Structures are given as C-alpha cells and as structure tokens.
Amino acid sequence: MIADLETAKRNVSRRGFLDIDIDPTLDLFAEIEQLKKEKNAVLLAHYYQEPDIQDVADYIGDSLGLAQEAAKTNASVIVFAGVHFMAETAKILNPHKKVLLPDLNAGCSLSDSCPPPEFARFKAEHPDHLVISYINCSAGIKALSDIICTSSNAKLIVDSLPKDQKIIFAPDKNLGGYINKMTGRNMLLWDGACMVHEIFSLEKIIRLKEQHPEAKIIAHPECEEPLLKVADFIGSTTQLLKYVETDAAQAFIVATETGILHQMQKNAPQKTLIPAPPDNNCACNDCPHMKLNTLEKLYLCMKYETPEIQMEEQLRLAAKKPIDRMLELSAQLGL
C-alpha cells in the first residue's frame, strides 16, 4: 500500500490528482472534518461543486466571496473545492500557506479562451486602455491587468472609473457586453466565453416559460445577450441565490450551472426551481471542470496534502496587484 501511495504521489503532476483506492467503509464526511482539525485547514467551496462537497465545506460562495474569505483566513492550509483559477487566486493571496486543489485538471473554458501571449499583443495594440479582467482567468492574465473584477462587483468597479477612461475587458465577452449595456460604456471586449453559460437554448427556455408563466427567469451574466434580454434578474451565483430566497415569486427558471440548485433548495425549500435547459439532449447543465472534484479526491488531497498549487514569485507579485485593487475597491463599495 505504501509503495502504491508513493507511486501515486509521484504521478500527481502527470495525472492531476492522487489516484489510490479508499477503504469503502470510511465515513468520508467524518474523516474530512477530522482532517480539518488536525491540519488547521479551511475548506472553501464554490456553489458549482457537487452537493456532498458543499455540505462539508466551511464556506460556500461566489468568486468574490471566496477570494475575500481566502484573503482573511487564519488557517494554515486552504483546501479549494473549485477550479484552478480560484485556487490560484487563494495562493496569490497566501504565498506562505499550503493551497490544495483536489484535481489540478479542474480548469475553466473561459480562462483557457484567453492565453497570456495573445492577450499581451492585444493589450500592446491599445496602450491607452486600462485592463479590467474577470477573475476567471489565469495568473498570467491577472499579471497583465490593472483591476480584477467578479460578476458581483464588475458594474460597480467599472462605474468607479472616470467616464472617459478607455477600458479593455477580458476574457468574457458576455459579461463585458452586459456591463457595457449597464454602464453605457464602450469597453473593448476580449472574445472569450464560458462553455457552460453559452449552451442554454433560448427556444427551450421560452417554451418552458410558456408552460410556467408564473416562474421568473434568472440568469448569470456569463450567458449570451438574447437570454439575458428575457431574464427577470441577472446576477452572480450569490446574487441569484439571494434573489430566490427573498423574491416573492414561488418558481424560478435558473440559467446557470446546476450546482447552485443545492443551496437554493436548502435555503428556500418551498420554492420551485427549474434548471434552464441546454441546447443538447442532456437535462442538466454541469460544468465538467467543476465536477472533476469529488468527495473522494477531496479526502485524499487533504489527507496527503497533494495536489498543491505552486507559483513562481515574480508572477505571483504581478498577479496580486490587480486582485488587491479589487479587494480594496470592493471594501470601499461595501461589498
């Protein structure tokens, strides 16, 4: 078993996760709670994680909440149940802490749509523009940015800048287009998108609305403009969750990743939640990257403290500046 463990550890950099068998009689929830205590570890999870992971997390949130939580934690180890750019952000903010991600393959199509060398060329063509990047990007893109934003603070951050300030917004063209519309700006948009939020079928959603006229359509701003146009409410995952909890409507057609339905159902059990249908034959809309993390991989990464996020110091320092600016602005804006 030890020999297998040592081989599996050596293979982590190639496989992306620790691939060993787990005793099937173990209560993984209890084990994870115990490991948190033993290692002084905090478990941060995004709403798109599978329900079991959300249930064992210390904090569940949207990208802004997770970054704020990572910035203030006193824990020695941060276990990030989310995707790579989220864990990377936690590492940028905590160079001396161990930051673990259950599966290093948990990437993001949006982040991948913006490679740093190409973006650096685009930026060089517009030297008089300030760069605002959505947090869903690599450390390399963050290092080329002036301010980071998330879906919950993008509008306020853009509004806080002088009206005549020229801006490049990367990498999400849908969020950027939505913010342009909300603020009356004409930011230059990088042509990136999230595979999960672009897959919804407007036609099926409209049919669904006809069958449930009482249901409100709620959507994440990473969705395409025609869908955003028919939405009753648009917001980050935390904002969508709060809306379901507080709005008088009893039914909602939810246009974002299905993981969020778990918290919506828990926090508003009397409400009807209908996942918006994608443009394929599947009934659900899961992010394949987020769903690479499992309770088993989470347990193993906590127990053996691998895979761990590593970062070169010069890149970390350059990527930290625009994140710090976002955190400062968010605090000033009361977010």
For ligand SF4, the binding residues (CB under 6 A) are 48, 83, 108-110, 136, 194-196, 257, 287, 289-290
195 binds, among ligand SF4, ligand 13P, none (CB under 5 to 8 A by kind): ligand SF4
289 binds, among ligand 13P, ligand SF4, none (CB under 5 to 8 A by kind): ligand SF4
Q: Which of 204, 203, 209 is nearest to 283 (CA)?
A: 204
Site string for ligand 13P, 56-95 (x = CB under 6 A): ------xx--------------------------------
Largest CA distance in the chain: 64
Residue with Cβ nearer ligand 13P (136 or 258):
136
**Rounded least distance, CB 147 to ligand 13P, Å:** 16
**Rounded least distance, CB 163 to ligand 13P, Å:** 26
Tell me: does residue 50 bind ligand 13P (CB under 6 A): no
**Rounded least distance, CB 86 to ligand SF4, Å:** 8
Tell me: does residue 294 bind ligand 13P (CB under 6 A): no
Residue with Cβ nearer ligand SF4 (8 or 66):
66
Which residues, including other chains, have CB under 8 Å from residue 335's CB and lie 6 or more apart?
64, 152, 153, 156
Site string for ligand 13P, 164-203 (x = CB under 6 A): ------------------------------x---------
* 242, two tokens: 């709060």
- In sequence order, what DSSP letters do the residues of 116-182 get, joined into one string? HHHHHHHHHT-TT-EEEEESSS-HHHHHT-SEEE-TTTHHHHHHTS-TT--EEEESBHHHHHHHHHH
Phi, then psi, of 150 in degrees rounded to 5: -125, 180
109 binds, among ligand 13P, ligand SF4, none (CB under 5 to 8 A by kind): ligand SF4
Give Cα separations from 274 to 45, 138, 210 (angstroms). 23, 32, 13
Alpha-carbon gap, residue 197 to 234, rounded angstroms: 13
Q: Which of 76, 91, 185, 177 is nearest to 134 (CA)?
A: 177
Q: Which of residues 116-155 bind ligand 13P (CB under 6 A)?
A: 136, 150-151
103 binds, among ligand 13P, ligand SF4, none (CB under 5 to 8 A by kind): none
Residue with Cβ nearer ligand SF4 (171 or 322):
171
Tell me: does residue 54 bind ligand 13P (CB under 6 A): no
CA atoms within 13 A on the CB side of 242: 9
- In sequence order, what DSSP letters do the residues of 278-304 get, joined into one string? BSSS-S----TTGGG--HHHHHHHHHH
Q: Which of residues 222-281 bind ligand 13P (CB under 6 A)?
A: 222, 236-237
CA atoms within 13 A on the CB side of 96: 4
Residue with Cβ nearer ligand SF4 (68 or 256):
256
